Structure 1
Amino acid sequence: MNKKEKAIILLLAAINFTQVLDFVNMVPLSIYLIPNLHISAFQFSTLVASYSISAFFSGIIAALLIDRHDRKLSLLIAFTGFLIGSFACGIAPNYVTLLTARIVSGTFGGLLGAQLYSIVADIFSYERRGRAMGIVMSAFAIASVVGMPLSLLLTNVFNSNWHLPFLANGFLGLLLLPLMIKYLPSMKGHISTFGSPTIFGSLTSPMKIRIQRSALIFSCLFMFGHFLVIPFIPSYLQFNNGFTILQIALILLCGGLSSFAAAIYLGRFSDKKGKLPIFLWSVFISLFLVFILTDMPAMNVLVAVLFFAVLFMVVTSRIVMAQSMISNVVSQNQRGSFMSVNGSMQQLGQGMASLVAGAIVKTNKATHQLSNYNWVGYLSIAVLIVAVIIGNRIFKTIDKTSDVPSGDEQPLKSNELQLDIVE
């Protein structure tokens, strides 16, 4: 990876950080939002789902146009709209206005992921993509390491003011805008007159190609199973297991550190050994961890730190591997539209998971303790098993490895990868 590639990847990771942080902030802030806004578990899950569902629809619309325009311009427009939504969340006075602001954030935030992954996939060949994708997706880990614990502490210090994390994230995004304009290259190499013949071809094409159709089904199902247990983790730790805000912040911090390491090093390792085997092992280990998480016995805070470190590591690993494999089922000139549809399917999976989890989990109005969380865990395990079976059938024939050294220097090319995937 040369210097130009590294600079672009780091900037894309920073952009992804703000987008991920805006979304994951809702998870730790559940500790404050549920009691302060006097809302139920289902109303909170609706706040989380509103982002994902709106991102699903905006991603579908974007898929119609995304491969017809410069990726840099599309990214700038999406990021600007996302920042407007983030600031709106930071000044929302009540549940209804916050819900509206989350819809705005989701509408534009949902466009960012597809653009980021498409840019990475255009720059790096499949054999080098695991490492690059790992760096960009390490934003999730960094958001966990820095963002979620800091959001908890910031809100706690300023008298439970949950607006501050959204405002801080918005100002951080403003600092990135001039860097995006200056350093991101214009990317038009994917634009082709030989792509989809009609504007709706971007949506219909993946449905006609079996491997792409199967990959989209896998993507939605996988994210549904993955996200089921996530929205209520902090609330469960505090209200059911008695951990303090500082202890939860420590747990998230250590979990995020292990997640960051997994995104970087396992991504690089997968380029040499294959992404599918690492994905399968990560999901297999996570099944046991989800079973423990959703029916967690009383445990020392140090044991909890170790447990969540392992959990975050395997969760990040399975996401990075899945995203890298999915990006390889489509040719470059249609990758932007396909990844936008894929991002929409993932957002749909997340949104539905949040709503289903919120419908299953019940909240005690007096103590705010959660019940039925273990049933959410059982459902998550069942769905992930089905997703693994589907994923193994899809990717076992296309998963490739590379003997390229980790420190290789290869030139940046806008048209580096041309795949031979035909129906």
Structure 2
Amino acid sequence: MNQPRILAFTGYQKFLIAILALLQFTVILDFMVLSPLGDILMKTLNMTPSGFGLVVSSYAFSAGASGILAAGFADKYDRKKLLLFFYVGFIAGTFFCAMANSFEMLLAARIITGLFGGVIGSISMAIVADLFAINQRGRVMGFIQMAFAASQVLGIPIGLYFANLWGWHAVFLMIVLLAILIGIAVLLRMQPVTKHLALQSDDNAFRHLWNALANKTYQTGYLAVAFLSIGGFMLMPFGSAYLINNIHLQQAQLPLIFLVSGLSSIIIMPVIGRLSDRVNKFWLFTGGSMLAIVMVIIYTNIPPIPLWEVAVINVIMFMGIMSRMIPANILSSGLPDMKDRGAYMSITSSLQQMAGGVAAVGAGLIVTQAGKSSPLAHYNVLGYVVSIAFLACIYFVYRMNELVTKRSREASIVVSTEPADSPPLVITD
């Protein structure tokens, strides 16, 4: 069987990959940093596990709501302008987080941040799908998803250092300053992304949203992507509290855990991305899912063990989880037509955030803690629930893979039946 042709990147595409990765770095860090700060925040602001779960899920629910509201308009404007609009709002929300001094203020700030930050990922995915062929997207997403690793290698350890030195507020101020610089680079260097505007046939934003929601092909993608977020939203919010109170690590040891996991992810992500451009994406996803299931069950059931063992388990677990995310997102990007791409990406992002919000609330209800320094109870139950969700997700990704394969086959037939004197068609989906 012929291997897909690997296309090289232009200089501008390389810049675009870098700037989108930096954007994702700040958005992911803003969410990820809550987990290592969880123990500090619960003790400083007198939050229970259910209260902290609400803080985490508030971002997800507001992001989900804004994604649905933005979906109808997502294909009506230059994607660069939309990206800048929501990124400015994200910066403002993160600044409000830095100014919060109570549970209620932090909760409100997280809602504002989610309203804007939750849409940025979907806009970025639409830009990637517009400007990169499907056999480039694995490498593109591999690099962009390195933002997840970079947030662990650089962002979280530095953030925790600032938190220990100047308080947890300093972490969000650090994100604000970095995001302002990235926003200026987007404004000055990024070109407009408007090719999709020529394909629009419906001026009614709500009808456009409804058509995207009602499309049965797209609905498979919605379900698959929604299930992808459940594991992270259930396990991560209580990760630091679990390691400190159950595994008996020290707060000062947490940066090393994130550093090791992040460094390994920096190596793994490009490899997974390149593999996604070369091998069957569904089988890569399935292999990653099975590895993740095994490691999640181990992780949520371990007794107090040495630091190096915790680090090894984390590295292997993240390897499985990342092997799921990249191929699933590539398959999802191959489902929508270009004219629906912004709406589709906004809806998938919204459903993913909402599913994650439900997962975070559910995790907060499952996990209990007798006192501020007591071990978390029932954390292992989360591992079993996450494993079941991983298994269900395999089915939906299988259905999505079948639809994308069928679409690619039909596109190939169209190209092969074009008359010899017809202009060449460029297939990017």
Q: Same fold (TM over 0.5)?
A: yes
Match of 1:55 in 2: 63
Indicate how the Cα distance of structure 1 residues 94 and 331 shifts in structure 2: closer, same or farther if over 3 A, else same. same
Q: What is the aligned partner in structure 2 of residue 43 from structure 1?
A: 51
Q: Compute the displacement of 1:417 (Å).
A: 4.7
Identity percentage over the alignment?
A: 30
The question of 1:14 aligning with 2:26 is answered: no
Aligned 8 A contact 2:246 2:303 in 1: no
Task: Output the CA distance in 1 between the equivalents of 2:208 and 2:29.
Answer: 29
**1:93 aligned onto 2:101:** yes
Alignment match of 1:379 (pick from 366, 378, 385): 385
Contact conserved, 2:67 with 2:349, CA < 8 A, in 1?
yes
Distance 1:255 1:418, change over 3 A: closer
Give the distance between the partners of 1:74 and 1:314, measured in 2 at CA.
33
Deviations 1:222-264 (A, max 9, x none): 3224432121111100111111123221111111112222221
Q: Quick one: which amino acid aligns to residue 307 of structure 2?
A: V
Separation of aligned partners in 2, 1:195 and 1:218: 28
**RMSD (Å) for aligned C-alpha atoms:** 1.7
Q: Would the aligned equivalents of 1:152 and 1:245 in 2 still touch at CA under 8 Å? A: no
Query: Which residue number corresponds to residue 408 of structure 1?
Result: none
Which amino acid is 2:136 matched to?
A: R
- TM-score, normalising length: structure 2: 0.91
Residue identity matched to 1:243: L
1:106 is aligned, of 114, 123, 135, to 114
1:258/1:310 contact within 8 Å kept? no
Partner of 1:125: 133
After superposition, what is the alpha-carbon deviation per residue over 1:112-167, rounded to whole angstroms, capped at 9, x for unaligned?
Answer: 11111111111111111111111112111111111122222221233xx1111101
Give the CA deviation at 1:368: 3.7
**Is the aligned partner of 1:205 residue 2:211?**
yes
Whichever residue aligns with residue 52 of structure 2, its letter is: F
Q: Secondary structure at the match of 2:35?
A: coil
Q: Do residues 390 (structure 1) and 396 (structure 2) align?
A: yes
Tell me the amino acid that sits aligned with residue 258 of structure 1: S
**Residue identity in the other structure for 1:323:** N
Indicate yes or no: 2:91 matched with 1:73.
no
How do residues 138-177 of structure 1 correspond to structure 2 at under 5 angstroms? Answer: 138-158=146-166, 161-177=167-183
Change (3 A) 1:73 1:372: same
1:271 aligns with 2:271: no
Residue number in structure 2 paired with 1:405: none
Shift of 1:193: 5.2
TM-score, length of structure 1 as denominator length = 0.92
* Counterpart residue identity of residue 267, structure 2: A
Give 5+ residue unaligned stretches, structure 1: 402-414
- Relative distance call for 1:83 and 1:242 in structure 2 (3 A) is same
The worse-fitting range, judged by mean Cα deviation, of 238-247 and 277-286 is 238-247
Structure 1 residues 381 and 156: alpha-carbon distance in aligned structure 2, compared to 1, 3 A threshold: same
Q: Do the aligned partners of residues 56 and 134 (structure 1) sit closer, same or farther apart at CA in structure 2, a change above 3 Å counting?
A: same
Kept in 1: contact 2:220–2:399 (CA 8 A): no
Residues 40-90 of structure 1: per-residue CA shift (max 9 Å, x gap): 000001110011100000111110101000001001110001000011100
Decide whether aligned partners of structure 1 residues 217 and 366 sit closer, same or farther in structure 2, where only a CA change above 3 A counts: closer
In the alignment, the residues of structure 1 paired with residue 72 and residue 198 of structure 2 have an alpha-carbon distance, to the nearest angstrom, of 14
| Alpha-carbon distance in structure 2 between the residues aligned to 1:233 and 1:375 | 14
Instruction: Give 2:234's aligned residue.
Output: 228
| Runs of 5+ unmatched residues, structure 2 | 1-8, 410-424
Alpha-carbon distance in 2 for matches of 1:372, 1:240: 11
Alignment length, in residue pairs?
404
